Structure 1
């Protein structure tokens, strides 16, 4: 997904600028079939973890993908999609059916909160609340536009990488308490993380998020089943499900490689 590569300070300035979307007619015939394969793999992983497949939500991460390809996945019966860039979501959402459940899964800057919530009135969830400032901005804007409470996840930086966004694990409980107690227009639903690109380290990242959930649930006095875990992407979603993930964000395994513009030499 996003949140890897450049240092966090460098990324913050450009994190909401989407790359140009490229059309890809070659992909349009395969995305639906790829989705069916992912659903089967998710079902098998859920069963291995002793859970029902319907306890795991697949968010199809459609960053850089054209509306025509997203529509094919929609026509195959899928309704849960995630976007990383506000501008890209603002362009796509009006062209697609209203019953899509959109998740915002990229870093969200304060100045993008208003256009996101006003431009996508049926936004289902923001998975990337990582500090009190962004939580407060979301809370105030939800109240201002008088929409129903917005579901949010708190993003945790479980790898310790400076290139990743997210609250540090030791600050997770405090941030969750702030969202739960001081943001009445937000509905805290759980935690989210992005594993390291070195997937041999990912199990440790997932274990850290699981530990954070235990601490959060003790602090709030809620059952762990009430706290979602959004962890796992194309390369590691099966392992994440086996470890307890309830939301997986799958992009390239459904849509194919992301379509970034080719950079020509200067």
Structure 2
């Protein structure tokens, strides 16, 4: 699948949305999971095609890439940042993407504090964030240990007035595909966070599931799935930034 083939992205997106809807129906849930179209390494034209077909939620993994793309696309796009974020790049991201809707990868108090202070300096409204949890225990993955997610969620809720704790996120194992135990682990983390912070599970999102397993993730409770190559085609990793 290539961005140069008109209509192919829109057709693939429609198919994925139908699969999301079917998985939600099988799970018996009332609410519709959110589909984040992950457009890393893909040209603005491919994102515009998905936008023109009605989609509004897109995600990027690299700061420079989202900062480059966002100004070239409609400002009603709700961008998600789903890659590892270094605290020294927080201002670049927040300043460059005023329509950032959700940051899915907060994994340290240092990053939370930096985001909080930067948003305050910019005069921005509180930004919803997810705590990234390393459910697979792999050293190559970012995220807090499952036993530490409640403490970070509490720090965000209690100490970061310009952030809004919105839920939990995991990548899982192996890369870009998760096993059921990763989903089960994240769900258990949500239960613990809700218990300790006095929250309802309905108010704590679970971002889990990607191209290879988003239907299974939805059936296991995901409220936010991140699908890239199934929509946009194979990525060109030579463009990694």
Normalising to structure 1: TM-score of the pair? 0.87
Is 111-120 or 157-166 further displaced after alignment? 111-120
Runs of 4+ in structure 1 deviating by more than 4 angstroms, as ranges, are: 198-201
The 1-side partners of 2:124 and 2:6 are apart by: 35
Alignment match, 2:8 = 30
1:133 is aligned to 2:110: yes
Partner of 1:261: 238
- 2:150 matches 1:210: no
Q: 1:110 aligns with which of 87, 96, 109?
A: 87
SS in 1 for 2:238: coil
- 1:19 matched residue in structure 2: none
Aligned to 1:162: 139
Match of 1:196 in 2: 173
1:153–1:47: structure 2 CA closer, same or farther, 3 Å change rule? same
**SS state of the match for residue 117, structure 1?**
helix
Query: Matched residues in 1 for 2:184 and 2:38: separation?
Result: 23
Q: CA offsets, 1:146-177, max 9 Å, x none?
A: 11001100000000000000000000111100
Tell me the number of residue pairs that the alignment of Structure 1 and Structure 2 aligns: 238
How far residue 261 of structure 1 moved from its aligned partner, in angstroms, is 2.7
Equivalent residue, structure 2, for 1:59: 36
The question of 1:175 aligning with 2:152 is answered yes
Distance apart, 1:28 and its partner CA: 4.3
Helix, strand or coil for the counterpart of 2:167?
Answer: strand
Task: Let me know the Cα RMSD of the aligned residues.
Answer: 1.5
Q: Is the 8 A contact 1:28 1:68 kept in 2?
A: no
Residues 178-216 of structure 1 deviation map (CA, whole Å, 9 limit, x = unaligned): 010000110000000002127896100000000000000
User: Given the superposition, is the C-alpha separation of residues 201 and 235 from structure 1 closer, same or farther in structure 2, using an over 3 Å criterion?
Assistant: closer
Deviations 1:120-159 (A, max 9, x none): 1121111000010000000000101011001100000000
Please tell me whether the aligned partners of residues 178 and 213 of structure 2 are also in contact (alpha carbons under 8 angstroms).
no
Kindly indicate whether the alpha-carbon contact (under 8 Å) linking 1:27 and 1:256 is maintained by their aligned counterparts in 2.
no
For residues 212 and 254 of structure 1, what CA distance do their matches in structure 2 show?
A: 30
**2:53 counterpart residue number:** 76
Aligned CA distance change for structure 1 residues 200 and 98 (closer, same or farther; 3 Å): closer
Q: Structure 2: which 5+ runs fail to align?
A: none
